[in-house]
Structure 1
């Protein structure tokens, strides 16, 4: 397996992100054209009505979109933009985001992501869908 689709290498990249560590995110799948990120639902990730905060769902979508893009173009990436539609409140024990590449070009990669809440019995409920464009920045020029 090469570094572009090596789960252990991708997990090290995630571990280097302080905010991801704060949330307790973990990359559980990383293969050609797709990635899956999970995090345990905790009370401090909920909003006032008891559901997982929308910002947590947006984080999961954003990061997973970028990891999916990284499976086809490598690690030098930045989110150019994404949209998210919240379909229903997220509750359960685990939040799971699964993204896949729709189209990869030289400078942009378009991906889609489904964000689901998983309950204690393992039943998944689709809570949000996102689509994003991931930019592949030009390498810095030598002076």
Structure 2
């Protein structure tokens, strides 16, 4: 799989399209997905909703695993720790494969918010992705 395939795969996910997610890095056991922070993605205190961060972690973990397992993969499970409120202009999720076998991969993801003052780590996630037949 290459980055063009990954972009097409993301574009085929209606929820990803709704959020405006985009693949900005893909290959060699890693993936990066970004989305612009918009008002309708915020919670009542003005921070990016935790569900949006969880979506980004889930998808980016799975895309990273897909670089080593192939395109037919599903998330088997993941955990996320929210480190600070997510504020910024862009959410960037960066995932990489920690360990893989023929049928499973364990991946780690760091989520940053980015604005003109730089980037700030707001959450970390780890998950397992499995190959489907």
- TM-score (ref. length: structure 2): 0.98
Q: State the match for 1:14 in structure 2.
A: 10
Q: State the match for 2:123 in structure 1.
A: 128
- How much does 1:127 deviate? 0.2
- How much does 1:119 deviate? 1.1
Distance in 1 separating the partners of 2:116 and 2:38? 13
Match for residue 85 of structure 1 among 81, 84, 107: 81
- Aligned-pair Cα RMSD in Å: 0.7
Q: Which deviates the most, 58-67 or 101-110?
A: 101-110
Distance in 1 separating the partners of 2:4 and 2:102? 25
- TM-score (ref. length: structure 1): 0.91
- How much does 1:120 deviate? 2.6
- How much does 1:105 deviate? 0.8
Q: State the match for 1:23 in structure 2.
A: 19
Distance in 2 separating the partners of 1:79 and 1:13? 15
* Higher CA-based Rg: 1
Displacement over 4 Å in runs of 4+: none
Distance in 1 separating the partners of 2:61 and 2:96? 7
Q: Is residue 107 of structure 1 aligned with residue 115 of structure 2?
A: no
Q: Deviations over 1:97-121 (max 9, x none)?
A: 0000001112210000000000134
- The alignment of Structure 1 onto Structure 2 pairs a total of residues equal to 133
Distance in 2 separating the partners of 1:66 and 1:9? 14
